[in-house]
Amino acid sequence: MPEEFAIGIHDLSVATTRYVLTHDTLAAHNGSDVAKYHKGIGQRSMSVPAADEDIVTMAAAAAAPIVARHGVDRIRTIVFATETSVDQAKAAGIHVHSLLGLPSATRVVELKQACYSGTAALQFAIGLVHRDRSQQVLVIASDVSKYELGNPGEATQGAAAVAMLVSADPALVRIEDPSGMFTADIMDFWRPNYRTTALVDGHESISAYLQAVEGAWKDYTDRGGRTLDDFTAFCYHQPFTKMAHKAHRHLLHYCGHDADEDAITRHIGHTTTYNAEVGNSYTASMYVGLAALLDNADDLTDQAIGFLSYGSGSVAEFFAGTVVPGYRSHLRSDMHRDAISGRQDIDYAKYREIHEHSFPVDGGDHPVPRETTGPYRLAGLFGHKRIYEPR
């Protein structure tokens, strides 16, 4: 894409939770060898939201630095991607819009398709900026992943939010055409409306993911996309970080390339560093990987990055982006590292208490204790209404 038509990610900001449960603590409770987590799935800890934290508070915390840097005058749209919505009707982004004080002349919408919808939000935002290059779109992906205690998926839980400002002449990554698409009706992971925790068929989910890698890549190349050798790095959706390794190995084999571990690590190693610490953040996961890559890799100026976004059920998309000269001066590397390193370690009893907490459904007043150190908090549930406030 010629630079004069370039649209992409102008700013990127990551937020996570107050608490963290390490996999050492989880392994000690379960009587498991911690290598099952550290080496088997590539996870070291999981972010755990405090009682007054949720997808809205993380989203607002991620978006606030972007608004502070760029102002609100050009932001005409918020697209909020999540699969752990707090309401069946009202978009979570409206709460963020209020907390950040954005103008009333703003459209706000919420998107859902498992872990994929953050990419749908990004692509929708690009389309809006194509219509009016003076506008910017605030894209937010925020999720809390939760499984039943003792479930095989428990060790992959996590929480994080990513906010991205999409604009013309982006300062970080130019998003390219074409995109490769793939959809198949598969019940590999789902959460019915009557459940607070997800259901997953682990083996089916891995198989579905790898099938989607092939399908999205094939469509991408059929539509004239780059060759595999064009890419310096790849960002994958990471339900657990070893899944990114599996996916990239599968893509290399599919394309007839050698899939030695050194090549895989060279292509995706930096993208897994944050996800290994925060756990699965569903819609935010791939973009947490992008933040980690930009923050930690050697100079990526003018280098191509491949993105494979996957959401169970299933939908996938492969697309490319090129890193913009001067991008390093716009990064938030220290803020991201501080957000991860600054979490408070909790024991298993505290984690279990948080995991088992739920609001009564009687319509009464249910204030929430002050725990978060983030800029925004969930004050409570009052008459079935979630009330948010600055901390």
255 is annotated as an active-site residue: no
Catalytic residue among 23, 95, 97, 237: 237
Q: Which of 44, 41, 51 is nearest to 26 (CA)?
A: 44
Residue with tokens 């290059």: 133
Catalytic residue among 10, 97, 110, 115: 115
Please name the amino acid found at residue 206. Answer: I
CB contact set of 146 (below 8 Å; sequence gap of 6+): 84, 157, 196, 197, 198, 355
Catalytic residue among 83, 176, 317, 371: 83
Respond yes or no on whether the N-terminal peptide bond of residue 178 is cis (omega within 30° of 0).
Answer: yes
371 is annotated as an active-site residue: no
CB contact set of 170 (below 8 Å; sequence gap of 6+): 6, 7, 8, 9, 10, 324
Task: Determine contact, residues 196/172, Cβ cutoff 8 Å.
Answer: no
CB contact set of 371 (below 8 Å; sequence gap of 6+): 18, 50, 51, 52, 53
Determine the Cα–Cα distance for residues 79 and 109; give it in Å rounded to an integer.
5
Determine the Cα–Cα distance for residues 90 and 80; give it in Å rounded to an integer.
11
3-state SS class at 287:
helix
Residue with tokens 């933040």: 291
115 is annotated as an active-site residue: yes
Determine the Cα–Cα distance for residues 321 and 308; give it in Å rounded to an integer.
11
Determine the Cα–Cα distance for residues 48 and 21; give it in Å rounded to an integer.
7
* Residues recognised as catalytic: 83, 115, 237
